[in-house]
Structure 1
Amino acid sequence: MNSVWMSARHAMPVLALGSAFALATPAASAGDFSFGGKVFADISQLQKQDHAAGTDTRAWDVDLKRLYLDADYAFDPAWSVHVTTDVNWLRGERDPDVWLKHAYVQRQWDGGTRLRVGVDDMPALALTSKWYGYRYIDPIGTSIQKIDSAADWGVHLTGVLAPKVDYAVSVVTGGGYKHPTHGRRADVEAMVTWHTSEHTMLALGGFDGQLAASADARPLYHTARRLDLLAAYASDVWRLGMRYSYASNWTTLYSVNSERNGSWSAWGSVQVAPQWSVFARYDRAQPTRLNDPSRRAMYANAGVQWQPVKRLRLALAFKRNALRRDNGEIRRSNEAGIWSEYSF
């Protein structure tokens, strides 16, 4: 629970800055406030097998994957502030976790340029989740592999480079929104997206930084880097996409030895009736390409989604997660149940 107080303390300068902007803006008295939220929850049976430890467990339980509470205040069309709290309470945990996922001041210009100062979404994961469309089932593979961050504290700029080409750049602490801290230098993530048609896109991005690492206590040997390639199609009926990521030294900043992680995710869904869709996803990763090249991670899901009303989605789904070496399986989990997303 300490994370909520750390996050809130870091958010105060952002909110204070927003108030200062409000006083400096002539139209501040004509503000517009809005409030909303989103819930991800599931009930499922989870079976875990660990071959190294010789354990096999199976149990039904409930997860509150995400409870987002959003508050926006627009001083005028140019200036606004936004706050999103992020709550989750996962099976096996005694207490819920609470963070600030968004807390920023926004400046909007004509032509699509937007500047946010505070904690906001990172370019690669935000873009991937938007085109994937089934984030409430599980995050995309780079997040599962922990070589990606959903949001971070810093300066976030988006805009248009040319017709059908836009960009997003974040200069951040590198610690992520759950660990509001900083290291010796700022980290940078950037992405350029080409909207090849109304329904298709290609994106190229990358990350360079030290993940809020500090060299005060021990030597820092490496810089964490990641290259991202994304291609996707989305229409009212179909969603298809694939993301490839190649990362280096995300877990070996303090180690003399280098490490590499290669991963890809592919997904597809189709609306088979006005309220019904079927979906599937497959991820594959090689998390230790240099030090243990035989090690492989795999994730897959498949299911049926029912959307009875606009604000509610329900999915009957099956998921599998496995870690293997060439000589056999290390551990795996199978999960089946009902997942839900409710917006308000």
Structure 2
Amino acid sequence: MKKSSFAIGVAAAALTMVAAVSGASAQSWTDNITVGGRMYLDVSSSSLEVNGAKSGSKNGFGFDVKRVYFQVDKKFNDIYSLQMQTDVSPVNQTSGSIAGQGLYLKKAYFKAAFDPAFEVSVGSNEMPWIPYAESIYGYRWLENTLLEQNNTGARSTFGTSADWGVHVAGKFAQNFAYQVSLVNGKGYRDSSRSEGMDVETRLSAKFDQWNFAVGSYTGKRGQQTYSGTTEVVAPHTAQRYNALAAFTGDRFKAGVEYFTATDWQTASILDTSADHAKADDSDGYSVFSSYRVSPMYTVFGRFDNVKPTKKLAPWNEGNYYNFGIQMSPLKGITLALVAKHDEFDAYAGGPALKGAKTNTKFNEIGIFSELRY
């Protein structure tokens, strides 16, 4: 399906939504409103070292507020609804600095659920892949999933969980679900427009306790824009493909996630050299598992491997793991004792020469919590 045809279709659907809501029976804005939220808190000891020397602010023992979400839902009727969710990120989770702190609108959209197989939302909403992977993994409150995890700050991330645009989703044939999102490509923290829009997709299936999904992303990631009257040309297109398979039983869960990407980084998208010297490939995988040993306690673990620059620096590699034990003493309160290790090796010299190594290492152990209300 071409982007232009897709855009025309969703625009027509949006106009239909507005007309239908305007013709609906009047009701107070205070009717059918629900409020909720989540907080990710921890007390931990962490260290970030570069070639054995401590680096940055992610060192020492202390208290962290990793995320605070506040959500308001407004339901007009069985079809039309609104949702707003704020995201408070006190620190930049990549660098450990306060440079990225602030209050953001993560989700702000108007949705029309015409049919279980066809729902349309306009605004900032969840992207097709990362939230789905998070729902299968189940431990987002402890760590981002494969595409976003980057505790060392030394490797790249490969996706975002929400973005501004038009999102179409649905479930069909009992076992299948899909989502297609046409977005600006800069993530929910930047609502500015670009010259074109990106497309992310997902097709998933669930058979009893088995889950399978494939997904894709293609676009300029918001790099093709106008600076005054001058067009910033993005000659290359970022692409990413995803796959996931998992068993999610009542007590035992195990799964694997994989991605491969081409020209994902800004430098590759904007490269204008004759031979596109900055073209690059990336890939990675994540293996995770958990087992509920009693109604209150669950043990879990995970391992990731990422090669972010397979052509330009083919020896560069990151490995991450965590393991721990979780307990749920009360409804809405989840606690876990967790150990994490993230390590990235980068080599100088480019593809022709494996030069000097820079080792970046992150370790953390502590009590992590998710509070829902």
Partner SS, residue 130 of structure 1:
helix
**Distance of 2:25 and 2:128 partners within structure 1:** 32
Partner SS, residue 115 of structure 2:
coil
**Distance of 2:320 and 2:234 partners within structure 1:** 32
Match 1:179 to one of 173, 187, 190: 190
Query: 1:139 maps to what in 2?
Result: 144
Match 2:180 to one of 163, 169, 172: 169
Q: Does 1:24 align with 2:23?
A: yes
Query: 2:113 maps to what in 1?
Result: 108
Query: 1:253 maps to what in 2?
Result: 269
Residues 222-249 of structure 1: CA distance to partner in whole angstroms, max 9, x if unpaired?
1011000111111221121111000111
**Distance of 1:42 and 1:164 partners within structure 2:** 37
Offset, 1:96? 4.0
Cα pair distance change 1:274/1:229, threshold 3 Å: same
**Distance of 2:345 and 2:362 partners within structure 1:** 12
Match 2:131 to one of 118, 126, 134: 126
Cα pair distance change 1:85/1:20, threshold 3 Å: farther
Offset, 1:301? 0.5
Query: 2:337 maps to what in 1?
Result: 316
Offset, 1:159? 1.4
**Distance of 1:56 and 1:287 partners within structure 2:** 22
Offset, 1:329? 5.5
Query: 1:97 maps to what in 2?
Result: 102
Q: Does 1:234 align with 2:231?
A: no
Partner SS, residue 128 of structure 1:
helix
The letter of the residue matching 1:150 is S
Note if contact 2:84-2:105 (Cα within 8 Å) is conserved in structure 1. Answer: yes
Taking structure 2 as the reference length, what is the TM-score of the superposition?
A: 0.82
Cα pair distance change 1:21/1:63, threshold 3 Å: farther
Partner SS, residue 270 of structure 2:
coil
**Distance of 2:55 and 2:188 partners within structure 1:** 34
The letter of the residue matching 2:372 is S
Note if contact 2:47-2:54 (Cα within 8 Å) is conserved in structure 1. Answer: no
Query: 1:331 maps to what in 2?
Result: 360
Offset, 1:68? 0.6
Note if contact 1:18-1:81 (Cα within 8 Å) is conserved in structure 2. Answer: no
Note if contact 1:18-1:80 (Cα within 8 Å) is conserved in structure 2. Answer: no
The letter of the residue matching 1:300 is Y
Note if contact 2:47-2:60 (Cα within 8 Å) is conserved in structure 1. Answer: yes
Offset, 1:93? 2.4
**Distance of 2:323 and 2:224 partners within structure 1:** 41
Query: 2:258 maps to what in 1?
Result: 244
Offset, 1:160? 2.8
Percent same amino acid among aligned pairs? 28
Partner SS, residue 126 of structure 1:
helix
Gaps of 5+ in 1: 1-16
Cα pair distance change 1:163/1:318, threshold 3 Å: same
**Distance of 2:237 and 2:100 partners within structure 1:** 35
Residues 107-132 of structure 1: CA distance to partner in whole angstroms, max 9, x if unpaired?
11233421111100101101100010
Offset, 1:97? 1.4
Query: 1:272 maps to what in 2?
Result: 293
Query: 1:5 maps to what in 2?
Result: none
Number of positions where the alignment pairs a residue of Structure 1 with one of Structure 2: 326
Taking structure 1 as the reference length, what is the TM-score of the superposition?
A: 0.89
Note if contact 1:182-1:213 (Cα within 8 Å) is conserved in structure 2. Answer: no
Note if contact 2:211-2:248 (Cα within 8 Å) is conserved in structure 1. Answer: no
Offset, 1:328? 5.1
**Distance of 1:20 and 1:313 partners within structure 2:** 43
**Distance of 1:56 and 1:205 partners within structure 2:** 37
Offset, 1:179? 1.4
Note if contact 2:110-2:121 (Cα within 8 Å) is conserved in structure 1. Answer: yes
Offset, 1:315? 0.6
Superposed counterparts of 1:22-101, under 5 Å:
22-26=21-25, 28-29=27-28, 31-51=31-51, 54-55=53-54, 58-90=59-91, 92-93=97-98, 96-101=101-106
Query: 1:204 maps to what in 2?
Result: 214
Note if contact 1:172-1:188 (Cα within 8 Å) is conserved in structure 2. Answer: yes
Gaps of 5+ in 2: 1-15, 150-155, 347-353
RMSD value, Cα: 2.2
**Distance of 1:92 and 1:262 partners within structure 2:** 27
